[in-house]
Amino acid sequence: MHGFEAHPAVRVSGSMVVPGDKSISHRALMLSGIAEGISDIDGFLASEDCLASLAAMRALGVRIERPSPTRILIHGVGLHGLRGAGRPLDMGNAGTAMRLFTGLLSAQAFDSQLIGDASLMKRPMERVAKPLREMGADVRTHHGTPPVDIGGARHLHGIDYQMPVASAQVKSAILLASLYGEGTTSVTAPGVSRDHSERMLKSCGVRVLSEGLRTTLYPPQCLIAQTLTVPGDFSSAAFFVVAGLLAGASEGLLIRNVGLNPTRTGLLDILRSMGGKIEVLNPRESGAEPLADLLVRHSSLKGVRVSQDLISLAIDELPVLFIAAACAEGETWVTGAEELRVKESDRIAAMSSGLTALSVAHEPLPDGMRIEGRGEGNAFSGGHVDSFGDHRIAMSFAIASLRAAAPITIKDVANVATSFPGFVSLAHSVGLAIRDTAW
């Protein structure tokens, strides 16, 4: 079994660029595939998750060229040009891809089936299937989980949907289906969620109105091809933001070309409230998305009670926040994050298991975690950690090695490639001492 062996390091420093944004890469493939004309996407994330989306679009009849690993040319087939794959579409470990493809395929003239790896086949899909059925789609799950079977040739109509939980994946699936529906569709969320789909739909010429927590889409006649540079993935940058705070050199760690979509950057607000020294440099835009460079310096962190308003804006970054919290002075409380229970793993349970193995005082909660930080010095004992096949758990505990008294070995890390290819080599380049190992 593939693992990491992470040794304590003195400091991190230098300049780095993280891979392209996974959420934007998924959406660029799908929307460009149903646009008119050729879209040129640079900075594409060549991770296993995104390559699963690319393979699915090719199976649906979209011609995609790859002049380089991170540049793709997508020959759009138009709104009604997709054709049946004739076989199940394998989403691998990509929950985003499965939920978004469910929305896109629910409006097509052919039947489809979506499957995934063992982890994805356990993840909840009814939260997407339910509103799509309300639109007239034929979407069936297996006791709430994949495989997802989608019947074709259904006439969809617009709905006014109140989401019970703020979820960009559910919202995006509905918006993709509504491109084909009769009449407008509105989605209202109980809190803020990512808006990558709305931004990219607008850049493709679709009329989308966002008013507070309500999003309304007016079905288009066609989508326009796009030229786009995908910014660096903030969720990937988050590991190195925390690394810089825990062990940054005096000159700081510079992370360049990071996407700073305001629906993604709750972690920056949380870390700053803890005393984190993070500067935003050279702010600019790429297409419809904001990006900038981040300069991070070593900081003495303080424990906080994380505001509920920031939870949905930092949900994927909470595992590495728990690492920062263990190195802060005083207690940190995170509540309202029950969504962590249904990610690639039960991330509350997985992080609790690892923190216990590394002698960190904490209390897992039904919807979060209470962590007793140790302040400056070594916060972790070193030891053996199981990532439970979850890429974010594995990378979070790799960052913990910066403040560990002894090496940390991390089990079952193969899925790091699903979101962050090249993580180990990039970590090495700024001073972390991580190596691949057989468990």
Average pLDDT over all residues of the chain: 96
Active-site annotation holds for 412: no
Over residues 138-188, the pLDDT tens digits come to 999 999 999 999 999 999 999 999 999 889 999 999 999 999 999 999 999
The rounded distance, in Å, linking the Cα atoms of 298 and 251 is 9
Question: ω before 147 within 30° of 0 (cis)?
Answer: yes
Give the pLDDT confidence score for residue 439 in this predicted structure: 63
pTM of the model: 0.90
> Which of 90, 316, 386, 412 is the catalytic position?
316
Please check whether residue 35 is in contact with residue 62, taking contact to mean a CB–CB distance below 8 angstroms: no
The mean pLDDT value for 31-35 works out to 98
Mean pLDDT of 101-119: 97
Average pLDDT of the segment spanning 91-120: 97
Nearest in space to 64 (alpha carbons), one of 86, 49, 91, 44: 44
Identify the CATH homologous superfamily for domain 22-229: Enolpyruvate transferase domain (3.65.10.10)
- Res. 249 pLDDT band, cuts 50 70 90: confident
Topology of domain 2-20+231-438, CATH: UDP-n-acetylglucosamine1-carboxyvinyl-transferase; Chain (3.65.10)
Q: Exposure of 366 by Cβ count < 10 A (0-12 exposed, 13-18 middle, 19+ buried)?
A: exposed
- Summarised one tens digit per residue, pLDDT across range 366-403 is 999 999 999 999 999 999 999 999 999 999 999 999 99
Location of each CATH 3.65.10.10 domain in the chain: 2-20+231-438, 22-229
Instruction: At 364, list the tokens.
Output: 């897992």
> Mind listing the pLDDT tens digit for each residue in 192-229?
999 999 999 999 999 999 999 999 999 999 999 999 99
pLDDT at 159: 98
